[in-house]
Amino acid sequence: MIKHNYPLKNITTIGLGGTCKELICPVTINDLLKINKSRKHIYVGNGSNICFITDYYNGSIISLKRMKRFISHDDSYIYCSSNISCNKVSRYLYNNEISGFEFLHGIPGTIGGAIYMNAGAFDDELLRHVHSIELLDSVGNNYIISNKDLHYSYRKSNIDKKSSIIRVTLNNQAKVFDRNILNKLNSIRKNTQPIKQLSCGCIFRNPKNQYAAKLIEGAELKGTRVGGIYISRKHSNYFINDGSGTYKEFLKLIKIVKNKVFTKYNIKLQEEVILVK
Ligand SMILES: Cc1cc2nc3c(=O)[nH]c(=O)nc-3n(C[C@H](O)[C@H](O)[C@H](O)COP(=O)(O)OP(=O)(O)OC[C@H]3O[C@@H](n4cnc5c(N)ncnc54)[C@H](O)[C@@H]3O)c2cc1C
């Protein structure tokens, strides 16, 4: 399926930006192979860590959301497609009494996006649990990255951004199942994060030994608003779009925060959210 001049706000959870040349949603691997990857393009999962900062993205946005989704497991591994949501994975494992992936619950992305970003929460991160990842490179070659070839750190991985993540195998290591963990982590998340509003998660990376949210609060920026975009009162590292916000206001607020935090703490904040134009 190809949609031309598709509104970018429908592609990300913060809902900003103009339109794109085309949104392509392959249904099969064959469809995915046929897409011309020599032109400008970007893969999107659920768009929960991306913000488009343009009136027109002159390229293809490729979403695997229409491809087959699956998850299964055996005693050693968990197998899933990259387009399945983090919530589905953690819920499936919970229902099968497998611990170790409760931290994924509430991350509003796909497993593909979470792998690329090395998403994490509650002192855990996804790439720690990966056995192997199956990808397609930009000329259609299928390849596998196994754990020993993965290099990752806080919200970073060495995965080639021109490749699409197709399938993931996770280690099924936890031997003891604790039914309470998922609900406990869920309620912490609900109490500390604005999960029901238009946002793209944390805007800035935590500087070494610091929390970006604390620095933003310390610079007295909580609640600061530029037009339709404001800093959440619940979590200062989240910007919320009240529905009327624009990417220009979003960028202006980023600038204000960076300047104030730098003036007060001499610390340069860096964006965690991926800005695409
Ligand atoms: C309310 C809220 C709470 C959040 N909480 C957390 C949290 O606790 N921890 C955390 O780490 N993050 C959090 N996030 C950020 C975000 O949800 C995660 O980074 C998530 O893993 C992104 O997944 P996605 O599918 O939305 O990826 P996208 O935002 O669509 O994409 C992210 C990156 O991955 C690439 N990508 C996506 N899919 C593929 C694929 N199949 N193949 C190749 N590349 C791909 C994209 O090109 C892009 O570079 C939160 C966001 C929100 C809005």
Domain limits, the chain:
2-63, 71-171, 194-276
pLDDT, average across residues 213-222: 97
Q: The tokens of 44 are what?
A: 């999107």
Is residue 71 over pLDDT 90? yes
Residue pair 128/121 in contact by the 8 Å Cβ criterion: no
Closest CA to 253 of 266, 265, 235, 241: 241
Q: Which residue has the higher pLDDT, 239 or 175?
A: 239
Q: Where is 253: in which H helix or E strand?
A: helix 247-265
Q: What CA–CA distance (Å, rounded) separates 238 from 232?
A: 6
* Predicted confidence band of residue 118 (pLDDT cuts 50, 70, 90): very high
Of 24-33, 44-53, 171-180, minimum mean pLDDT range: 171-180
Supply the pLDDT for residue 67. Answer: 98
Three-class DSSP category at 33 = helix
CATH number of 2-63: 3.30.43.10
- Binding site membership of 82 for ligand 1 (Cβ less than 6 Å): yes
Is residue 1 over pLDDT 90? no
Q: Is the dihedral of CA 40, 149, 89, 200 positive or negative?
A: negative
CATH number of 194-276: 3.90.78.10
Supply the pLDDT for residue 37. Answer: 84
- Calculate the CA 268 to chain-centre distance: 22
Most confident of 32-36, 114-118, 159-163: 114-118
End-to-end CA, the chain: 23
In the set 20, 80, 202, 249, the catalytic residue is 202
Is residue 221 over pLDDT 80? yes
The backbone torsions φ and ψ at residue 86, rounded to the nearest 5 degrees and listed phi first, read -60, -40
Q: What CA–CA distance (Å, rounded) separates 183 from 192?
A: 14
Residue pair 13/48 in contact by the 8 Å Cβ criterion: yes
Is residue 36 over pLDDT 90? no
* Predicted confidence band of residue 38 (pLDDT cuts 50, 70, 90): confident
Buried b (16+ CB within 10 A) or exposed e, 119-152: bbbeeebbbebbbbbbbbeeeeeeeebeeeebeb
pLDDT, average across residues 68-77: 97
Q: Quote the percentage of the chain above a pLDDT of 70.
A: 100
- Calculate the CA 33 to chain-centre distance: 24
Supply the pLDDT for residue 45. Answer: 98
- How many whole angstroms from 49 Cα to the centroid of ligand 1? 4
Supply the pLDDT for residue 220. Answer: 97
Q: Do domains 2-63 and 194-276 have the same CATH topology?
A: no
**202 catalytic, yes or no?**
yes
Residues 146-201: pLDDT tens digits?
A: 999 999 999 999 999 899 999 999 999 887 889 999 999 999 999 999 999 999 99
**272 catalytic, yes or no?**
yes
- Binding site membership of 108 for ligand 1 (Cβ less than 6 Å): yes
In the set 66, 69, 91, 155, the catalytic residue is 155
- How many whole angstroms from 201 Cα to the centroid of ligand 1? 9
Provide the CATH topology of domain 71-171.
3.30.465
- Binding site membership of 62 for ligand 1 (Cβ less than 6 Å): no
Q: Is the dihedral of CA 52, 264, 117, 113 positive or negative?
A: negative
Q: Quote the percentage of the chain above a pLDDT of 90.
A: 94
